Amino acid sequence: MNEARASCIERTTAETTIRLQLNVDGDGSGEINIQVPFLSHMLELFQKHGFFHLSVEGKGDVEVDDHHLTEDIAIVLGQALRQSIGDKRGIRRYGSVSLPMDETLVTVAVDLSDRPHLEWKANLPAAKVGTFDTENVYEFFWKLALEARMNLHIIVHHGSNTHHIIEAMFKATARALDEATQIDPRIKGIMSTKGRL
C-alpha cells in the first residue's frame, strides 16, 4: 500500500464532542476514551477483530442518556470509513461473516456499494446491558451504514444472552468490513460493471 487509508474526523454539536481516527490497514490497536462503558468495550472488539487502528475521544450529555453519544460516534465512524477507502479502487467491496459466541450465532454481510441500507433481523432479549439501553444498538448500526454509505445486513440466527448477541454483531461487522476493504490485486479499478459505485 503506497498511501495510508486513514482519516481523522471531528464532530462538535450542542450534545457531543468527538474526535475519531481510523486506519483500515491497522493492527487492531488504538485507544477508546468515551463516557459509555459498554460501547467502549464494543469498539475495542471492533478495532481488534477488524484489524483497524481506531482511536476515539468522545464526550456528551450522558446525564440525559447514552443515545446522542452512541449515535454521533456511529456517524463519525461511518464518515471515517468512507473517507479512508476513498474511491474504492481495488477493494473487494463485499464481505460476510457468520460468527458464533457461545449460544449465539450472528451473520453480517456488507457491500460497500455507496447505497446505504440496514437490514436488521435481530431480537435483543434485554432492554439494558449494565446501564446501556440496547435499543441504541440498532441506531448505531443504522447510522454507521448510512454515513459509510454501505449495505449492511445483520441477522441473528439464535441467541439468548443480550451481551453475547451484541458482541457477536460488533465482531462480525468488523470482520466483514476487514474482508470488504481488502485490496485484491486481481481487481482493476472498481469492482462493478458500472465502472463506479
Give the model confidence (pLDDT) of 63-83 as tens digits. 888 999 999 999 999 999 999
Question: pTM for the whole thing?
Answer: 0.95
2 pLDDT band, cuts 50/70/90, is: very low
- Beta strand segments in 47-197, E: 53-60, 94-101, 104-111, 117-121, 128-129, 132-133, 151-158
Q: What share of the chain is helix, strand, coil (3-state, %, to 5)?
A: 35, 30, 35
| The domain made up of 6-181 is a member of CATH 3.30.230.40 | yes
Helices (H) and strands (E) in the chain, counts: 4, 10
197 pLDDT band, cuts 50/70/90, is: confident
Residue 35 and residue 59 in contact, taking contact as beta carbons nearer than 8 Å? yes
Residue 160 and residue 103 in contact, taking contact as beta carbons nearer than 8 Å? yes
- Where exactly are the structural domains of the chain? 6-181
Residue 4 cell numbers, joined? 495510508
